[in-house]
Structure 1
């Protein structure tokens, strides 16, 4: 296992099933788990919309997280956002405040994606063109736009320390840096872990001048990590 500390962010290279039980409570969880639909890679394509780059299939989307993993996640925070919630509806409690990302294009892919939240309230929708992923720098086959993750944080009024146990390329971490939150990320793929570290370092190097930085976030450490 490897641990990187970058600003108010603590990043773990490892399996969240091993690491989550060692982490204390956090202020919020915002994550985008594997859906179990085989989207861990995709061939390159081209179209009048610009197409997308290709990604090696790595096998991490062969199955979705277990009921035990979701139970552990829900025990760590009262405010939780889980993208792809429609794939996990049988594993999560009923709730009223769902989030919807309208991707701003009507092509031969999903028009929108859904996120489950632990909170009560009205369903909320954001329209954000999927092309923003390319503007962020597309590096992951299921990458979410950073602005979408910032909006997700705002919908639960996230502050303090935010956890993402399926960090991928680090979009949630970048959003946390921009919002002024602390961040704990876990990723088991070494290449994506390194990409996430680099993106978060760059986010600190190019801070949002309109965000007032809070006092340093409380530090979370894994048992045995000094």
Structure 2
């Protein structure tokens, strides 16, 4: 059931449960998402239990909805010709083998700390593994400097642009069923992809709408135009 719908340019944003909404939507060229893969779910010796997830599955004291159970990728594996799932190293045993993983190096040689050096995304594409170096450590970042962090699993728009360039073509339709703060949508706007995002949390849905509205209103956030032709001077 769609609880709310917002249309912003070529972006369609839907509030609700993606598993309930997705079957009613038209086909997509690609699914690109960072699903909640169960950080708040722990495996105990006697079975399964809910962990506190205080370092990753909560943000400002608010738990991420859907992050208290193991993620099942099966509904999305045949949802589009191209599928890209971040965090897939946490549920790789439930995925087909893939030669093309996308790796985001967040630390660029910085001394290790308690957090991951990189994030990995599984794809269903042929090819070879690819790597992007994009520093992202607290407020020290290669992009979006000075901007507030609005989601615990927020991805830099620059990284999502790279992901889309690696896996999709201009004009294609992209679905993010776990939209979060809308970084995939902003990247789609900049690169000329049609975007549909679904988010179950009303607060994060509003944040995504706001970010995408602002991106749509700022011409410098769109695809760079080709340079004007000029007459070369012969020496």
Name the TM tier (shorter chain).
Answer: 0.7 to 0.9
For 1:167, what is the secondary structure of its paired residue? Answer: coil
Q: Give the counterpart of 2:148 among 137, 149, 160.
A: 137
Q: 1:164 to 1:88 in 2, by over 3 A?
A: same
Aligned length: 197
Q: Give the counterpart of 1:190 among 195, 202, 208.
A: 202
TM-score of the two chains, using structure 2 as the length reference: 0.79
For structure 1, the residue ranges without an aligned partner over 5 or more in a row are 43-54, 213-226
My pick for the range that moved more, 169-178 or 83-92, is 83-92
Structure-1 residue corresponding to 2:33: 31
TM-score of the two chains, using structure 1 as the length reference: 0.82
- Deviation of 1:78 after TM superposition, in Å, equals 1.1
CA-based RMSD of the aligned residues comes to 1.7
Structure-1 residue corresponding to 2:186: 174
Q: Give the counterpart of 1:10 among 9, 12, 25.
A: 12
Bigger proportion of residues as strand:
2
For 2:168, what is the secondary structure of its paired residue? Answer: coil
Q: 1:13 to 1:161 in 2, by over 3 A?
A: same
Q: Give the counterpart of 1:101 among 104, 116, 131.
A: 104
Q: Give the counterpart of 1:58 among 57, 60, 63.
A: 63
Larger radius of gyration: 2
Q: Any conservation in 2 of the 1:27–1:158 contact (CA below 8 Å)?
A: no
My pick for the range that moved more, 194-203 or 84-93, is 84-93
- Deviation of 1:2 after TM superposition, in Å, equals 0.8
For structure 2, the residue ranges without an aligned partner over 5 or more in a row are 41-55, 226-235
